[in-house]
Each structure stands twice: as structure tokens, then as C-alpha cells.
Amino acid sequence: MNFEEFELPNGIRCIFQSRNSEIIHIGLMINAGARDESMEQDGLAHFIEHALFKGTKKRKSYQILNRLEAVGAELNAYTTKEETCVYVSCLEADVSRSLDLIKDIVFDSVFPAKELEKEKSVIIEEIQSYQDTPFEIVFDDFESHLFVNHSLANNILGSKESVSALKRSDIIEFQEKHYFTNQMVISVVGGTSLKKVKKQIEKYFSEIPRKVGEINRIEPKEIPSFKERLKLNTNQAHIVIGCRAYPAMHDDRTSLILLNNILGGPTMNNRLSLSLREKRALAYHTESHYSPYTDSGSLSIYVGADAKNIDKSIQLVRKELDLFRTKKLSDQQVNIAKKQIKGQIALGQESGSSVMLGLGKSLLLYNKIDTLKEVFESIDKITGEDLMQTANELFEPSKLSELIYY
């Protein structure tokens, strides 16, 4: 994982990795997301993501869309709880065109009122489509309960009511408060040279005025665990069990990542899949997710099962969690788990776009990049005792919450 870093005079940090590929992946990441909205403006950061494509000082909306699609490149964006990203995949010949467009829409958008009103309708359709998918809703609603009365509870899409009420002035104010150049990273991965990339980035982004600031975030307060069941008359019960988890900078974060992978990672041999699907045929879909944030985190365990099997499924999930707390994994089990996750991480390096986003996010959040060797070394240090300690800190039964839609 060879990469080069440099910083523009205005504070925008840049990272580049060369690889043998015809495709170049470029992303501009901003340290601002849904949690940085006020509670009354949920959906604002995501609305801005859409609004960036609606017109700039020199381009109409259709010109923005056509600028890269005309050469077969892909332009997209996303919003999370803590970041906003605009990214492009293109040929080397179109890197200059891509950087120019990213700069234009992020820094020179004019947010025409007529286009904003049209885009509200598009987002409301997106919200309605999302509301027809209980599998997605249950995760977001679980976090809304987990971080109640805090901006981390904000749904990234917002609601029909909150989106309808947003104004152009809200966008301008949010960008003024959160779009700082020292809170931005440009990440580039692909078949070109550092010299070319640096020259092109400097051409388009050095002229951006320096604007330095800090993202001030309030840590969520502790809340008691909860258990809630809501009847939605779905064909399947959607069960989430989980808890608050370690923040992004926590010393035991790697231990939790490994523990989560053993429990419900993206494999058929994880503990949940073996117990609920393979052994008992109670569920088709099981998974576990760890989401670290700046000052907190969440662990969400999901099971999709027949409504008649809700209690049995919960009992089995809790049994697996108790086993992590009470029975230390053997050295052999730990070593097998380490090999598995290292293989998954290595395979993930095959995707240029994933590497580009990963490098950018790591520099944005941690202000450093760990090499693959360093990542593997941190995994190798984990012991069975470490995993057991992590399990006892997080999986104590009274700390676990439940949300069930059926």
C-alpha cells in the first residue's frame, strides 16, 4: 500500500496511490455530515449533497451531468453521519475535467431556488422508497433510539416534513459553519503519476481561499437500554439487538472489529449464521455491524426471521454474546479469525474505488494512513483475553437494546 501525501497552502490535504489500472478514482471528502445538523434540520447535509449538482456559476444542472457522462466517466456523491463525499471514476485523459467539475460543484454551486424545490420532491420520493424497506429502516431507527435527543439520531435522509421546510439560506449557513479547507481531503487512486496528479489538483484547488476551523461535536450522553416492538404487518420480522460501542479513536477498536467479524461478518461461517441459519434454519439473513463515530459508536446485530421465531432468535443471539463473555476463544480460534479478516482486508484492496475512499476517510478522520503491514500487525497483537474483555465491556445483558419490526 504505497501512497504519497501533500497539502495545499489552503489546508486541503491530498493523498495519492498509483496502481496498474486504466481507471482513476478521485474523491473529495468533507468532515461534515448528518450529525452536524440541528435536530430541526435533519436531512440538510444530504439535501446539500443533492443540491451541489443543481447548478454552479458557470454550469447548469444538465451541463454538470453531461460533463463527465459524455466521456463515460461516473460522478456520484454520498452523505453519512459524519462526512460528505463527491467522487469520480474516469480515464486518465479525463482527470483534469473531473477535478475541474468537483471543484466547481463543491465550491461554486449557486443553489438555484427553482432547482432546490424540484430536488425536494426527488428526495421525498427517495424517503418514500426507503420507508418501503423495513430492513433499512430498522437499522436507522435503532440508532435513532440509541442516540435519542442527540444529532447522531438524525436520519440521514430526513423526513418529508423536515426536507420540505429546508431553505437555500440553510444550505449557505451549514456550509459556512462546516466546510473548512482543513477539514477536507482529496484522495486519488489509479494509473497515473504523482507529478501529474499534484499539478492538476494544484491547478484547480490552490485558488480556493484558506478557511480553517474545527468541527465542534457534542458527545452523546449515556442512556438506559431499551426494548421496543412495533407491528408493521411485514412478511418477516426484522430484529436488531445492539448497544453503544467504541468511538473511532478507541484503543480497543481493532479488537471490536475482529470480534464483530467473528460474530456476524460477511461470511457464511460467522457465529450468527452457523447458529441461526445453518444449524436451526431460523433465518435467511443474519449480520452484525460496528459503526465508529468521532466520540461514540454503535454495534447492531440483525436477524430476519419469521415472526413466530422472534423470541427464539433473540435467545440464540444473546447466547452467542454470552459465550464471548464467559468462554475465552482458544489460540487456534483466534488465529483462524485473524487469517480470515486479513484475507478480507487484502481482497478489499483490489477495488480501486474502495481504496480511494478508505485512504481519504482515514486521512480525514485520523490524519494518518496505516499500511497493510501495520494493519495486520495491529490485528496480530489481539489475544483471546482482549476479545473476552471487549465482549464483557459491551455485551453485558443489561446494556443490550432491542428493536423489532414485525
Q: What's this model's pTM, rounded to 2 decimal places?
A: 0.93
The radius of gyration of the chain's CA atoms, rounded to the nearest angstrom, is: 22
Quote the cell numbers at residue 213: 476551523
Span 370-377, average pLDDT: 94
Q: Where are the domains of the chain?
A: 4-205, 227-405
Q: What is the pLDDT of residue 1?
A: 60
pLDDT value, residue 7: 97
Q: What are phi and psi of 110, to 5 degrees?
A: -110, -10
| Mean of all residue pLDDT scores within the chain | 96
pLDDT of residue 217: 95
CA 39 to chain centre: 20
| 343 half-sphere exposure, CB direction, 13 A CA radius | 10
Three-point CA angle 151, 152, 156, nearest 5°: 95
Q: Which CATH class is domain 227-405?
A: alpha beta
Q: What was the pLDDT predicted at 23?
A: 97
DSSP string, 74-90: EEEEEE-SS-EEEEEEE
Say yes or no to pLDDT of 245 above 70.
yes
Q: What is the mean pLDDT of residues 250-260?
A: 97
The band of 84, judged by pLDDT with boundaries at 50, 70 and 90, is very high
CB atoms within 10 A of CB 210: 12
Contacting residues for 293 by C-beta, under 8 A, at least 6 apart: 35, 81, 82, 152, 247, 248
Do the domains spanning 4-205 and 227-405 agree at the CATH topology level? yes
What is the arithmetic mean of pLDDT over 305-331? 97
Beta bridge partners of 243: 299
Q: Answer whether residue 372 shows pLDDT above 80.
A: yes
Q: What is the DSSP letter of 244?
A: E
pLDDT in tens, 145-190: 999 999 999 999 999 999 999 999 999 999 999 999 999 999 999 9
| Digit-coded pLDDT (tens) for 260-276 | 999 999 999 999 999 99
Q: Average pLDDT for residues 316-335, to the nearest whole number?
A: 97
pLDDT in tens, 212-230: 999 999 999 999 999 999 9
Question: Between 3.90.1300.10, 3.40.50.850, 3.30.830.10, 3.40.190.10, what CATH number should domain 4-205 receive?
Answer: 3.30.830.10
- The upper half-sphere exposure of residue 137, i.e. CA atoms within 13 Å in the direction of its Cβ, equals 18
Confidence of residue 233 (pLDDT cuts 50, 70, 90): confident
